[in-house]
Amino acid sequence: MSSEIKPDNQGWEWKPSRHELIIIVTLSIMSFVIALDATVIVTSLSVRLNSAEKPKPKLLTKVAFVMPFLASLSGIFGRPAILTGSLIFFTTGTILCCVADSIALLLGGRVIQGIGAGGMYVLSLVVFTDIVPLRQRPKYYGIIQLAWAVGSLVGPVMGGAIAEHTTWRWIFYINFPICGYSLIAVPMLLTLRPPESTFAEKLKIVDWLGGFLFIGSMVTFLLGISWGGNGFPWKSAETLVPVFIGAAGLTITLFYEHRYAQLPFLKKVLFTDVSAITVYILGLLQGFILYGQLYYFPLYFLSVKQKTPTMAGVAMIPVTLLLVPGSIISGVLVSRLNAYRWSIWMGWALVSIASGLFVSWDVDTHLIVSIVTLAIAGIGHGLVLNAQTFVTGAIVDPHNSGHAAAMYLFMRMLGSAIGVNVGSTIFQNVMGMGLEQKGISRSIAQHAEEYLTVLQTLPDDKFKNAVLSSYAFGFKGVHGVYVALAVVAFAASFLIRHYDLNKDHEPDHRLDGNGLLRNLRPSARSSSY
DSSP 209-226: HHHHHHHHHHHHHHHHHH
Q: Are residues 135 and 277 in the same domain?
A: no
> What's the CA gap between 254 and 268, in Å, rounded?
9
- pLDDT over 70 for what percent of the chain? 89
Number of domains within the chain: 3
Report DSSP letters for 98-109, one per residue.
HH--SHHHHHHH
Q: Are residues 414 and 281 in the same domain?
A: yes
Q: Is residue 11 part of a domain?
A: no
The identity of residue 162, as a single letter, is: I
What is the structure's pLDDT at 109? 86
| Least confident window among 118-122, 204-208, 454-458 | 454-458
364 pLDDT higher than 50 = yes
Closest CA to 300 of 483, 153, 479: 479
What is the structure's pLDDT at 171? 82
pLDDT digits (tens, 9 = 90+) for 426-480: 998 899 999 999 888 888 888 888 888 888 888 888 898 899 999 999 999 999 9
What is the structure's pLDDT at 369? 92
Mapped onto helix, strand or coil, the DSSP state of residue 5 is coil
Domain boundary among 139, 165, 194: 194
Which residues have CB under 8 Å from 434's CB, separation 6+?
469, 470, 473, 474
Mark 179-191 as b/e (b = at least 16 C-beta within 10 Å): beebeebbbbbbb
Q: Is residue 523 part of a domain?
A: no
The identity of residue 369, as a single letter, is: V
- The CA distances from residue 502 to 57, 107, 131, 210, 280, in Å, are 40, 46, 15, 34, 22
Say which residue, 11 or 34, is predicted with more confidence. 34
Domain boundary among 262, 282, 309: 262
Domain boundary among 172, 194, 216: 194
**Phi, psi (rounded to 5 degrees) for 511:** -70, 140
pLDDT digits (tens, 9 = 90+) for 495-504: 999 998 888 7
Q: Is residue 517 part of a domain?
A: no
What is the CA 501 to chain-centroid distance, rounded? Answer: 25
- Would you say 54 and 45 are in contact if contact means Cβ atoms under 8 Å apart? yes
pLDDT band for 394, please (50, 70, 90 cuts).
confident
Phi-psi region of 231 (alpha: psi -120 to 50; beta: other; left: phi over 0): left
Q: Are residues 485 and 358 in the same domain?
A: yes
Torsion, CA 237, CA 243, CA 248, CA 254, rounded to 10: 170
248: containing domain: 207-262
Q: Are residues 64 and 34 in the same domain?
A: yes
Determine the average pLDDT of the residues in 131-156: 84
Phi-psi region of 338 (alpha: psi -120 to 50; beta: other; left: phi over 0): left
Q: Is residue 200 part of a domain?
A: no
Please tell me what DSSP assigns to residue 228.
B
Q: Is residue 526 part of a domain?
A: no
Q: Are residues 246 and 380 in the same domain?
A: no
> What's the CA gap between 2 and 27, in Å, rounded?
19
By the 10 Å C-beta count (0-12 exposed, 13-18 middle, 19+ buried), 137 is classed as: buried
Q: Are residues 119 and 181 in the same domain?
A: yes
Q: Is residue 513 part of a domain?
A: no
> What's the CA gap between 147 and 59, in Å, rounded?
22
Q: Is residue 383 part of a domain?
A: yes
Q: Are residues 325 and 440 in the same domain?
A: yes
| Least confident window among 18-22, 36-40, 55-59, 99-103 | 55-59
> What's the CA gap between 114 and 43, in Å, rounded?
19
CATH code, 326: 1.20.1250.20
pTM, entire model: 0.83
Q: Are residues 314 and 387 in the same domain?
A: yes
Mark 397-427 as b/e (b = at least 16 C-beta within 10 Å): ebebbbbbbbbbbbbbbbbbbbbbbbbbbbb
N-to-C CA span, the chain: 21
- The CA distances from residue 514 to 138, 189, 196, 261, 379, in Å, are 28, 11, 17, 37, 42
Q: Are residues 168 and 280 in the same domain?
A: no
- The CA distances from residue 430 to 94, 120, 198, 423, in Å, are 36, 37, 58, 10
483 pLDDT higher than 90 = yes
Q: Are residues 214 and 333 in the same domain?
A: no
Q: Are residues 402 and 330 in the same domain?
A: yes
A 10 A CB-CB count for 430 gives 20
Q: Are residues 300 and 428 in the same domain?
A: yes
Q: Is residue 74 part of a domain?
A: yes
pLDDT band for 342, please (50, 70, 90 cuts).
very high
Strand partners, 192: 511
